[in-house]
Amino acid sequence: MRYFLSYFKPHRKLFFADLLCAAFIAAADLSFPMLTRYSINNFLGTSDFRSFYIFIACMVALYAVRTGAQYFVTYFGHLFGARVETDMRRDIFAHIESQSFSFFDGTRTGQLMSRITNDLFEITELAHHGPEDLFIAFLTLSGSLILMLTIRWELVAILAIFLPIVILHTALSRKNLMAASKNVKEKIAEINTATESSISGIRVTQIFTNEEYEKARFEKNNRCYYAAKRGFYRAMAFFHCRLDFFTSILNVIIIAVGGYLIMQAKMNLTDLITATLFSAAFLQPIRRLTAFVEQYVTGMAGFKRFTEIMRTSEEIKDKPNAVRIDSAKGDIEYENIGFAYNNGTTVLDKVNLSIKAGQTVAFVGPSGSGKTTLCSLLPRFYELNSGRITLDGRDITDISVESLRRQIGLVQQDVFLFAGTIKENIAYGKTDATDEEIIEAARRAEIHDDIIKTDKGYDTLVGERGIRLSGGQKQRIAIARIFLKNPPILILDEATSALDTATEIKIQKSFERLAKGRTTLVIAHRLSTIRNADRIAVVSDEGICEQGTHPSLLARNGLYASLYNAQKDLLG
């Protein structure tokens, strides 16, 4: 709760202005029965029209001001709620952005989408109406009780019995409703996850003509969602009906007791009218409380899911005394490192490796042996379980993550292009790059000629609404990004898919240009491309089992020689 309220702080002025207006509205509503009573008692029997009209004009003025306050509450109150919601959404997004790869390995995109969007939808309503409803309800309830005391204590006694029943009932229903609402949110997150997965895989689905299968899978989730909603509405309906019953009975009781008192000549008709008007004023806050409970359960269920994410932290954090490095030389040392993914199977154990600045080291070995893993440890995408990695003699955990990653350029197998233009995608390597720099980078990455052939050149859209680039073109865009970033260390993950020879040569040329003067780690899939590497490290399940130059490893006639010969045979 304190965490929730901490989001109110930056907007507290708006919040208190809203409460003030709400208090005014409550006071205006409360004054209505009293004013009616006053006018009946003082004017109806007389013919003092002037005072009567002045009195009526004052009431109209009061309601006009009340309308202004209502406008403020409805508009600025919601605005306040929306600000809280927006702040929360910004924080959860920032939090997710800072998580390590392990977090994303274990979390589905659809789930995260749901937490960022749906789960926070009701926060506006809760943040705005919640405190306001509670506050107004408190004011009007206590106000009407006190004012009624001035009429007849017997009526207050009835209300005093009635009120705890309502509060108890509300408190008991809250837990049920909350669980039901959380369930609805979980199911919508599952729908999001399923949708995300099915739509990303639509091409596979269509080629296998599995649309019916996908529809059935979706329908299952959809049904679960429906069932969850049904549960929620059932709980809601019970809650409302019970409360409605209490409130209707209240009117009957007031009439009964009031009628009895009148028949006993202990009360006059005006007081009974006032009392029934008060019971209406009294029911208003009860309705508000009901609405509050509804908003509270749905809003809080979302907020709980929000805090669940905000509390899981798999961030790779800087040590308090982490240093920023400007430009690394590029000496890299893996010292006795051990690493396992979250699922626990050890991938690397007691691995040692030393790379001198400017050297190119190629990693080869069977797929799944840990080459990619070995390289992802350097930018600290994952944290080591044991041992350490140093850059220029300094433990990488002593370097600020941001400055460490600035030293490293990474070209992955499947390049991700963001929705946007080609230019924007290249400029991702240096967001403030000038057009000349971008074009120069594209030339060096051998992609410039391909780009100018498209309709709009550098302004051509890529991604879902734009053109599709081939695997080879995407790789060269990724290389252009790195030219712009210009880091001293490179990690190149060669594309596994075979490219045509012309593209292959272009990529090779740009890779070589990129690697010049930089410490380079290449994850090689085709051994022909790495013959010139300064060193080749052969990774197997036992870690790095052989190291050396191409000729020395061939001469050794070990795993490398057999891998090389197998590929040579394959390629003829």
Q: How far is the CB of 337 from ligand ADP (least distance, A)?
A: 13
Nearer to ligand ADP, 367 or 431 (CB): 367
Stretch that binds ligand ADP, among 315-323, 370-378, 431-439, 452-460 (CB under 6 A): 370-378
Among 173, 193, 295, 373, binds ligand ADP (CB under 6 A): 373
**Any contact of residue 371 with ligand ADP (CB under 6 A)?**
yes
Q: How many chain residues are in contact with ligand ADP, going by CB under 6 A?
A: 12
Q: How far is the CB of 396 from ligand ADP (least distance, A)?
A: 18
**How many CB atoms within 10 Å of residue 412?**
17
Q: How far is the CB of 306 from ligand ADP (least distance, A)?
A: 26
Q: Per-residue b/e over 418-443, b at no fewer than 16 CB within 10 Å? A: eebbbbbbbbbbbeebeeebbbbbbe
| Paired residues of 539 in beta bridges | 544
Nearer to ligand ADP, 214 or 493 (CB): 493
Nearer to ligand ADP, 47 or 367 (CB): 367
**Any contact of residue 370 with ligand ADP (CB under 6 A)?**
yes
Nearer to ligand ADP, 16 or 416 (CB): 416
CB-based contact 437:483 (threshold 8 Å): no
Q: How far is the CB of 376 from ligand ADP (least distance, A)?
A: 8
Q: How far is the CB of 346 from ligand ADP (least distance, A)?
A: 9
Q: How far is the CB of 482 from ligand ADP (least distance, A)?
A: 20
**Any contact of residue 368 with ligand ADP (CB under 6 A)?**
yes
Nearer to ligand ADP, 295 or 369 (CB): 369
**How many CB atoms within 10 Å of residue 327?**
12
**Any contact of residue 367 with ligand ADP (CB under 6 A)?**
yes
Nearer to ligand ADP, 484 or 544 (CB): 544
CB-based contact 530:524 (threshold 8 Å): yes
**How many CB atoms within 10 Å of residue 92?**
20
Nearer to ligand ADP, 338 or 463 (CB): 338
Give the residue carrying structure tokens 């040329």.
509
Nearer to ligand ADP, 126 or 347 (CB): 347
Nearer to ligand ADP, 105 or 219 (CB): 105
Q: Hey, which residues between 261 and 280 contact ligand ADP (CB under 6 A)?
A: none
Nearer to ligand ADP, 315 or 435 (CB): 315
In this structure, what are the phi and psi dihedrals at residue 522, rounded to the nearest 5 degrees?
Answer: -115, 130
Both tokens of 184, joined, read: 């609805």
Q: CA–CA distance from 292 to each of 16, 173, 179, 380 (Å)?
A: 18, 13, 16, 46
* DSSP helix/strand/coil, 469: coil
Among 56, 61, 105, 268, binds ligand ADP (CB under 6 A): 105
**Any contact of residue 369 with ligand ADP (CB under 6 A)?**
yes
Contacts of 396 (CB under 8 A, 6+ apart): 378, 380, 388, 389, 390, 404
CB-based contact 110:192 (threshold 8 Å): yes
Tally of helices (H runs) and strands (E runs) in the chain: 19, 12
CB-based contact 491:375 (threshold 8 Å): yes
Q: How far is the CB of 524 from ligand ADP (least distance, A)?
A: 10
Could you give the residue ranges of the DSSP H alpha helices within 150-210?
A: 153-200, 202-207
Nearer to ligand ADP, 6 or 109 (CB): 109
Q: Which amino acid is at 238?
A: F
Q: How far is the CB of 362 from ligand ADP (least distance, A)?
A: 13
- Beta strands at 360-364 and 535-540: parallel, antiparallel or unpaired: parallel
C-alpha closest to that of 177 among 294, 292, 288:
294
Give the residue carrying structure tokens 């290389």.
479
Q: How far is the CB of 350 from ligand ADP (least distance, A)?
A: 16
Both tokens of 318, joined, read: 């800087």
| Paired residues of 491 in beta bridges | 410, 521
Stretch that binds ligand ADP, among 133-141, 321-329, 350-358, 367-375 (CB under 6 A): 367-375
| CA–CA dist 57, 183 (Å, integer) | 52
Strand order in the sheet with 386-391: 346-355, 332-340, 386-391, 394-395
| Paired residues of 521 in beta bridges | 361, 491
Q: How far is the CB of 498 from ligand ADP (least distance, A)?
A: 17
Q: How far is the CB of 343 from ligand ADP (least distance, A)?
A: 5
**Any contact of residue 372 with ligand ADP (CB under 6 A)?**
yes
Q: Hey, which residues between 326 and 365 contact ligand ADP (CB under 6 A)?
A: 341, 343, 347, 365
Q: How far is the CB of 348 from ligand ADP (least distance, A)?
A: 8
Nearer to ligand ADP, 177 or 353 (CB): 353
Residues that bind ligand ADP (CB under 6 A): 105, 341, 343, 347, 365, 367-373
